[in-house]
Amino acid sequence: MLLESIALSFVPGLGARGAVHLLECFGSAEAVYAASEQEIIERADLRQDIARAIVQRRGFSEAEREIAYCSRNGITPVSSDDKAFPSLLREIDDYPTVIYVCGSVEALSRPSVAFVGTRKMSSYGQRMCEEFISSLKELVPEVSIVSGLAYGIDGASHRAALMAGATTVGVLANVLPSVAPVANERLAAEMVSRGGALVTELNSQTKQNGRYFIPRNRIIAALSAGVVVVESAESGGSLSTAAFADGYNRQVMAVPGRVSDGNSRGCNMLIRNRKAQMVLSGEDIVRELQWELGLEQEPSVAPAALPLTDAEQAFVELFDSEPLGIDELAERSGLSAGELTLMLMNLELSGAVRTLPGKRYEKAL
- Residue ranges covered by each domain of the chain: 2-74, 105-288, 310-363
CATH number for region 2-74: 1.10.150
* Residue 120 burial (10 A CB sphere; 0-12, 13-18, 19+): middle
Cα–Cα–Cα angle for 142, 155, 123, nearest 5°? Answer: 105
C-alpha distance across the termini of the chain, in Å: 52
pTM of the full structure:
0.78
- CATH T-level fold of 310-363: Arc Repressor Mutant, subunit A (1.10.10)
CATH number of 105-288: 3.40.50.450
> In 87-236, which residue ranges form alpha helices assigned H by DSSP?
87-90, 123-139, 153-164, 185-193, 213-222
Task: Show pLDDT as tens, one digit a residue, over the chain (365 residues).
Answer: 799 999 998 998 888 889 989 998 998 899 999 999 999 999 999 899 999 999 999 889 999 999 999 999 999 999 998 999 999 999 998 899 999 999 999 999 999 999 999 999 999 999 999 999 999 999 999 999 999 999 999 999 999 999 999 999 999 999 999 999 999 999 999 999 999 999 999 999 998 777 889 999 999 999 999 999 999 998 888 999 999 999 999 999 999 999 999 999 999 999 999 999 999 999 999 999 999 764 444 444 444 455 778 888 888 889 887 888 888 888 899 988 778 877 887 787 777 888 776 667 888 75
> What's at 255, amino acid-wise?
V
